[in-house]
Amino acid sequence: MTDTHIERVPGVSSTVLGADEIILNMGPQHPSTHGVLRVKLKLDGERVVESECIIGYLHRGVEKIAEHRSYQQFAPYVDRMDYVAAVSNGLGYCEAVEKLLGAEAPIRARVVRTILTELQRIASHLVWLGTHALDIGALTPVFYCFREREEILKIFEKYCGARLTTHAFRIGGLQYETYDGFEEEVKRFCVDFEHKIDEYSTLLTENRIWVGRTKGVGILSAEDAIALGVSGPVLRASGVAWDIRKAMPYAAYDLYKFEIPTAPSGDTYDRYIVRMEEMRQSRLICLQAIENIPAGPIMARIGKVLKPPPGEVYHSIEAPKGELGYYIVSDGSTQPYRVRVRPPSFINLQAFDRMARGSLVADVVAIIGTIDIVLGEVDR
């Protein structure tokens, strides 16, 4: 008996019949909990009566670390939160500190940031698509997705030398100028990528089994989503057209035209559709931005030692998974007094119980996948 997986309700004999309930622990070591999430399911047969997400297996105290590092030193740490979207994390942090300093990155830096962040969004969504499909049993899309993600990571590698935890941006702008051929490579990727999305779509969108496994599964109504503070594609799939890129533009998003994809019913299929459409939109943003990267400096003049004035700031961006917010309190020293991160995965995960109740064990896997959590970000 793998005792870590089985707990019986004390005093009650447990059966699979529904005479009473069994408690099944999925994780923290389970192939489809996306890392070390542990979900405690109270089952009636295979039907979920109640669920509880138990987190913290990947806690590293990122927020505490910030208090003992200078502002620049802490920047690489944020890459390790949502490690499949490190560029977005970096963007949020850098902009938050810039806001604290009252500085702004030059326009060229902001455009390059936008391009890289949108590429990162595509990469993050590709990881989500691949693993989500894998969870539901489609073995092949993950390889297609990683094939394209590889192209994006190559661009990152050429730009800043790292693939996963990139530390691509610096407070005040960029450290590196774009490399020769950057525009062409991004453009080629974006042009090719259109057909690639269609390829994934062919595999899944109208596949009867896929539709059967995702439609009507894990429904989250708009009211619930807002009440739970859910953001990002999960919120938009419930029909709420809320996107920080539009609502509170940052970087260079106000320069480009793009749409906020939404879907009406808030089920797993809708979230799939929304994310697929977001990849298309990101591709369009990249194409617009790459056409015209303004010339100019890439770094604002902010000095070598950062000493923001005392005060506090909250800055949030639309990370691939939702609203990624940084709340930074400065006491006027070179180190932040307090950094608090609002990670989208952590908040979105709170909707899990609402989605999972009444569904089957197999759906739980689909629901975990559709929230698109990264445990590095949930646990920090």
Partner 1 sequence: MGTAPIALQYGFFYFFAGLAILCAILMVCGRNVVHSAIFLIGSLLATAGIYLQLTAEFLFIVQVILYVGGIMVLFVFVIMLVNLDVASRQRQFNKQVWLAVLLTIVLGGELGLMTHVDGSIFNSVNAPQALPANTNEVATALFQTYMLPFEIASIMLLVAMVGAVLMAKRRGA
Partner 2 sequence: MPYLLPVFYGIVIVLVLPLLAGYIVLLERKVMADMQARLGPMRVGPHGLLQPIADALKLLIKEGIIPAQADRWIFLAAPLVSVTMALLAYAALPFGPVFQIADLDIGLLFILAISSLGVYGIVLGGWASNSHFSLLGAMRSAAQLVSYETAAGLALVSALLLGGSLSMKSLVEAQDQAGAWFIFFAPCGFFIYLVASIAETNRAPFDLPEAESELVAGYMTEYSGFRWSLYFLAEYANMIVVAGIATTLFLGGWLRPLASFHGHILGTPIEILDIFPVIVFLGIGGYCFWRAPRQPVQIQKLVMVLFGGLFLVLAMVMFGSLFVPAAMPGIHGAFWFIAKVLVYLYAFLWFRFTFPRYRFDQLMKLGWQFLIPLALTNVLGVGVAQVLRQQLGWNAFAAFGLTLLATMGVAAWLITLGDRRDRLAAAAPAGGD
Partner 3 sequence: MIPVTHYIFLSLALLTIGVIGVLTRRNVIVILMSIELILNAVNINLVAFSRMFGQVHGQVFAIFIITDAAAEAAVGLGIIIALFRNRETVLADEMDILKW
Q: Least distance from C-beta 361 to partner 1, angstroms?
A: 16
Binding letters toward partner 1, positions 12-51, x by CB under 8 A: -x-xxxx---------------------------------
Determine which residue in the list 4, 15, 202, 350 makes contact with partner 3, applying CB under 8 A: 15
Six token digits for residue 282 = 């990101």
Binding letters toward partner 3, positions 16-45, x by CB under 8 A: -xxx--------------------------
**Which 3 state secondary structure label does DSSP give 165?**
coil
The angle at the Cα of 183, spanning 295 to 277, to the nearest 5 degrees, equals: 115
Is 305 a residue that touches partner 3 (CB under 8 A)?
no
State the virtual CA torsion across 177, 87, 299, 183 in degrees, nearest 10: 30
Nearer to partner 1, 13 or 292 (CB): 13
DSSP secondary structure code for residue 137 in this structure: T
Is 139 a residue that touches partner 1 (CB under 8 A)?
no
Best CA proximity match to 27, nearest among 377, 361, 276, 380: 361
Best CA proximity match to 354, nearest among 272, 266, 274, 275: 266
Is 292 a residue that touches partner 1 (CB under 8 A)?
no
Is 11 a residue that touches partner 3 (CB under 8 A)?
no
Is 221 a residue that touches partner 1 (CB under 8 A)?
no
DSSP secondary structure code for residue 254 in this structure: G
Rule CB under 8 A: which of 29-68 touch partner 2? 30-32, 46
Neighbour-count burial for 280-308, b at 16+ CB within 10 Å, e otherwise: bbbbbbbbbbbeebeeeebbbebeeebeb
Q: Least distance from C-beta 343 to partner 2, angstroms?
A: 24
Nearer to partner 3, 16 or 209 (CB): 16
Where do contacts with partner 1 occur on this chain (CB under 8 A)? Answer: 13, 15-18
Where do contacts with partner 3 occur on this chain (CB under 8 A)? Answer: 13, 15, 17-19
